[in-house]
Every structure is written in C-alpha cells, then in structure tokens.
Amino acid sequence: MRIVVLLTATLLAIQPRVSIAQNTTNFPHIGHVDRFSTELDRLIGKDAVIEVLCGGFDWSEGPVWIPEKENRFGGFVLFSDIPHNVVMKWQEGVGASVFMKPAGYTGVADYGREPGSNGLALDRLGRLVLCEHGDRRISVLTAGGGKMTLADRWNGKRLNSPNDLAIRSNGDIFFTDPIYGLPQRENDPQREIDFCGVFRLEPDGTVTLQCREISRPNGIGFSPDESILYVASSDGSDPVWRAFPVDAEGNLGTPKPFFDSSKDDRIPKGGGDGLKVDVHGNVFATGPGGVLVLSPKGELLGRIVTGERIANVAWGNDGSVLYLTSDMYLCRIQTKTRGTGFKDR
C-alpha cells in the first residue's frame, strides 16, 4: 500500500545538519559487531558493516519499512524523532525528508521533552499505526491522509504515553504504556493510570490490561508463530526481557525470564528498549551498548555496536536489512536472516 506523504518540508527546518539531497551510496561506516558465539556467523556475515544513512536527529526511534512496488528500491523507512514531534522518511537515492509533523502531539501548549510519536508499525491493511506520546494514544493514518484514534483510554482513564507496539496477524495490537512521554513522567499531574502496563487492543476497540508487573515495559515483539510475546524492561534495576505465552483466546499468560543482562558479564547491566524477531525466532533487542542478538533460547550470540545508544530496530528491503535508530543517526546492517513478516530464504 502506498503511504501518502503528508508534508514536504525538509529536515533543514528542524536540524540544519541534515540534507534531503542524496547522490551517493558510499555511506560512512561506524561501530562493530561483537561475536560471542559462532552461531552469530549464520545471522550476520563477518564482512557486514554498519552504515550511517543520515543523521542530525535529537532522538530517533520506532523505525518501520514501508514497501512500495512502484519504488525501484522497493520502499522506504519511516522513523520518529520524538523531541521534534516528527516522523521522518528515508529513501534510497533520495535521502531524508519530513513525512509527518506533528506526529505525536497536536496541542498548543508546550508538552515537555518527548511529545512526538514513538513506535511505528503497519497493520494487516498496510496502514501506518503510531504510538503517540503527547496525544497519549494509539492512532492510525487513514487512506485520505488523516488520523484516527484507535485507543486512548483503558477503563475510562487516559493512557500514560504509548511507547511501542506489536501487531498480530488477526489484527490485535499489543502495546506498552510507560511514563516517558509525560512532561513530568511518573509525577505528572495529568497522569490517570498509576502503573505502567502492557495492553491488548482488539479490532473492535476493546482495550484489556495484560500485565502491570513490569515497572517500565518498553520494546515488544512476537515470535514467528505468535505463541510468545517478548517484552523488554527499560528499568535498569530490572534488566530482564520476558517471554509471555499467548493463550488460545489471545491473552498473555505468566511470563518467563528470557534474558537478564545482569547475569552476563560480557555486557554491562542495563535495561532494554525496542526489539524485533527474525523468522527463526532470534530476538534482536536493543540493550546495553547496542543491539543484543539472542537465540530463541535466550542465549546471547552477539551484539551490534554503533558507539551510540540504539533505541529500536526494524527489518526492511527484502527482510534481510536491519535498520537501526541510533540516537542522532539512522543506520543499517545487512544480515543473513530475515525478519518476521518476510519470507525466509
């Protein structure tokens, strides 16, 4: 489905370090790949490099690949720059441009440090779905270029600030709702829900609480068969990624610890942010120092390191290219696997 470009203003209006012009494919390389197991060689080639595609952002997040048959490169990447309340577009051979502004807050007063959209995804109809901090909702971009609210309340109370989401093939949207988008975070007087939850949004609009025991739930993603939902904790005192079983009714069961960074001395202790899963069930989870590559059993195989914090990742192109939103940069690395939603080799 072709997504309508809403705005044509350039990023120069936001960050003068970025130009929309791109006449090169000779992108600079940064960082490295840590290899803790030979199993990683099956997923990321030893000659793989991390390319910087564009930069100059304040805090890039929530990348998603938008396929386009008419585009000779196959599509483009959208991602959030949260502090600037904008969704950016990056396209091979073109560069970066503003796709949508405002993206997460449509009010008239100042709304703190993180007003914009965060996690982005495509639903089963190919529509762009957004987690919005400032407007405190899950929204969808309609075919006419407007937005529609899918959910902004649970039990009559306004959500905190939806952070990231994962969409099942049946249309259910699971999302995390920490407090990072509230101007005063946990002490914000506008806060109506006194915990940070994991929620399920069904196609009929029903919102149900699935978990309230994680202090700061963040990144979220399904296993290839959708029987497990992985949820990251961004609380440094609880640096555990959890695996929730999904029952026959589509609800979450009791989670099991999947990976605990405090128990692995090869990396610093720290919480996680966004994550994605490949077709073999390996989890590519942003965490201490970079993107942690975890086997389906929760074994740390390696780490993708840019030298900057990495907020989130997304599969793109034919499914084998991993895009990284890394602080001020949008980067990518070629892999030997493919993400869920893409056909395996």
pLDDT, tens only, 47-88:
999 999 999 999 999 999 999 877 767 899 999 999 999 999
Range of the domain at 273: 11-28+54-281
Q: What is the pTM of this model?
A: 0.92
Is 43 a member of any domain? no
Please say if the pLDDT value at position 322 is more than 70.
yes
Q: What is the pLDDT of residue 145?
A: 86
- Interatomic CA distance for residues 242 and 258, integer angstroms: 5
Give the CATH number for residue 170.
Answer: 2.120.10.30
Non-local (6+) Cβ contacts of 130 within 8 A are 87, 103, 104, 117, 118, 119, 120, 138, 139, 140, 141, 147
Domain count, the chain: 1
Residue 7, Cβ neighbours under 10 Å: how many? 16
Q: Is 273 helix (H, G, I), strand (E, B) or coil?
A: coil
Bridge partner residues of 32 (DSSP) = 305
Q: What is the pLDDT of residue 69?
A: 77
The answer to whether the CB of 120 falls within 8 A of the CB of 80 is: yes
Q: What is the pLDDT of residue 326?
A: 97
Please say if the pLDDT value at position 12 is more than 80.
no
C-alpha of 6 from chain center: 21
Is 334 a member of any domain? no
Is 161 a member of any domain? yes
Is 42 a member of any domain? no
pLDDT digits (tens, 9 = 90+) for 272-287: 999 999 999 999 999 9
Upper half-sphere CA count for residue 156 (Cβ side, 13 Å): 0
Q: What is the pLDDT of residue 74?
A: 81
- Interatomic CA distance for residues 307 and 233, integer angstroms: 22
Is 39 a member of any domain? no
Amino acid (one-letter) located at 77:
V
Q: What are residue 44's phi and psi, to 5 degrees? A: -135, 120
- Interatomic CA distance for residues 312 and 287, integer angstroms: 9
| Mean of the per-residue pLDDT values of the chain | 92
Query: Two tokens at 324?
Result: 């990284």
State the alpha helices, DSSP H only, in 125-274: none
Least confident residue range of 23-27, 103-107, 171-175, 201-205: 23-27
Query: Two tokens at 70?
Result: 């008419």
Please say if the pLDDT value at position 293 is more than 60.
yes
Please classify residue 182 by burial: count the beta carbons closer than 10 Å to its beta carbon, then call 0-12 exposed, 13-18 middle and 19+ buried: buried
Write down how long the chain is: 345
Q: Is 205 helix (H, G, I), strand (E, B) or coil?
A: coil
Is 318 a member of any domain? no
| Long-range CB contacts for residues 296-301, cutoff 8 Å, separation at least 24 | 296/223, 298/241, 298/243, 298/257, 298/258, 298/259, 299/37, 299/39, 300/36, 300/37, 300/259, 300/264, 300/266, 300/267, 301/35, 301/36, 301/37, 301/39, 301/40, 301/43
Query: Two tokens at 342?
Result: 């893409």
Is 277 a member of any domain? yes
The answer to whether the CB of 309 falls within 8 A of the CB of 327 is: yes
Please say if the pLDDT value at position 196 is more than 80.
yes
Of the candidates 99, 101, 92, the residue with the CA atom closest to the CA atom of residue 78 = 99
The answer to whether the CB of 260 falls within 8 A of the CB of 319 is: no
Is 341 a member of any domain? no
